[in-house]
Amino acid sequence: MTTLGEIAVVAGAYLRGCDAATVIVGVAPLHRAEPGYLSFLTHRRYRACLETTRATAVILSPEDAASCSTPAVVAANPHVAYARAAALFAPVAESRRGVHCTAWVSPDSHIAADTWIGPHCVVEAGAVIEAGVVIGPGCVIGEYAIIGANSRLVAQVTICHRVRLGQRVLIHPGAVIGSDGFGLALDSKGRWLKVPQLGSVLIGDEVEIGANTTIDRGALEDTVIEDGVKLDNQIQIAHNVHIGAHSALAGCVGIAGSARIGRHCMLGGGVGIAGHLEIVDHVQITGMSLVTQSITESGVYSSGLAVEPNRIWNKISARLRRLDEIFRRLAALEKKSNRDGTL
């Protein structure tokens, strides 16, 4: 529990029509909030819910506060304010230290005294685990890997040899960091020859990596994820990719080898990035887009077609198949018109 006054301080907001001493027991969406709960409005489609919500107070923008009769926590950026307020109600993981009896830790590793290594973990020789690290059940830490201070590996995370994690990194279950990149050479007999992947993966500070996301080690140089990057679930990042600081990638993004993503970029779900491309800072790519050439100017980019009723899509598809024919006919007409002097 906390008070509205404390919430306002944490959220960088101010109160309107509220008693700062009012106690709040939790957070809830507008349509489900009960008295004693804090709610929020971050999208205009939910404005109608302001009239019927039973929340004790609502986090919203100054513009929305003007039409809200409910006590308000007013913030310039309600989404950020909500994130900060909700953190006050997030469960705190139990603080533990030591090594579980079922874990295997190499005597040649270097483990800080105030870390926790959970059940069935493996820590290989030369690994360094710094202060305050929490390693959940079933994790594997490879040889000479470094886990930065106050990082947390939730469960079943694999950190391969020589991978380096910065401080306060959060990795969710099933992620694999530092497996071999997809490096193959085709010999004269048509057989694939594996190219050794001699680089590693360098993860910056305060990076979050979602469940079952995979980040391949570099072929020669490192794959690099800079500070503050946020990766959703089931993302594939190939060898030698470089992602700039504070970029955010939604689920099922796939980035081919040696692509470079700038800082403060946002990639929607299912975006595909071809290899060896460069995307500048402050680029937003909408979901399911395919990027096949470098992007040299900041802005919002899209590709693909949105869903349509099947009968309409069938017509669109049929017309798309005729585009080349139509283009050829148009070019022939233009050529004839130019020859006849009618244009």
Phi, psi of 332 (to 5 degrees): -65, -40
Residue matched to tokens 């390693």: 135
Distance of CA 137 to the CA centre of its chain: 23
DSSP state of 295: B
Phi, psi of 212 (to 5 degrees): 60, 20
The residues that are catalytic are 239
Question: What is the distance between the alpha carbons of residues 78 and 146, in angstroms, rounded to a whole number?
Answer: 37
Question: What is the distance between the alpha carbons of residues 26 and 139, in angstroms, rounded to a whole number?
Answer: 33
Give burial (CB, 10 Å; 0-12/13-18/19+) of 301: middle
CB 333 within 8 A of CB 317: no
Question: What is the distance between the alpha carbons of residues 83 and 38, in angstroms, rounded to a whole number?
Answer: 12
The tokens describing 338, both together, are 């130019």
Question: In residues, how long is the chain?
Answer: 343
Amino acid (one-letter) located at 52 = T
